[in-house]
Chain A
Amino acid sequence: EAGVAQSPRYKIIEKRQSVAFWCNPISGHATLYWYQQILGQGPKLLIQFQNNGVVDDSQLPKDRFSAERLKGVDSTLKIQPAKLEDSAVYLCASSSPRGTLAGDQETQYFGPGTRLLVL
Chain B
Amino acid sequence: AQSVTQPDIHITVSEGASLELRCNYSYGATPYLFWYVQSPGQGLQLLLKYFSGDTLVQGIKGFEAEFKRSQSSFNLRKPSVHWSDAAEYFCAVKYNFGNEKLTFGTGTRLTIIP
Contact = CB atoms under 8 A, between A and B. Distances in A.
B24 to A, nearest CB: 14
Interface string A41-64: 111110010000001100000000
Interface in B69-108: 90, 92, 94, 96, 99, 101-107
A110 interface: yes
Interface string B40-75: 011111100101100000000000000000000000
A56 B99 contact: yes
A41 B38 CA distance: 12
**How many of chain A's residues touch chain B, expressed as a range?**
20 to 34
A6 B43 CA distance: 10
Interface string A76-119: 00000000000000010100000001110011111111010000
B27 interface: no
B96 A43 contact: no
Contact of B49 (A48, A93, A107): A107
Contacts of A111: 43
A112 B43 contact: yes
A9 to B, nearest CB: 8
Given A103-B49, A106-B32, A110-B36, A56 B101 contact: yes
29 contacts: A6-B43, A33-B102, A41-B106, A42-B104, A42-B106, A45-B101, A48-B101, A55-B99, A56-B99, A56-B101, A91-B43, A91-B44, A93-B44, A101-B51, A102-B51, A102-B96, A103-B49, A103-B51, A103-B52, A106-B51, A106-B94, A107-B46, A108-B46, A108-B102, A109-B46, A110-B43, A112-B42, A112-B43, A115-B41
Interface of B: 32, 34, 36, 41-46, 49, 51-52, 90, 92, 94, 96, 99, 101-107
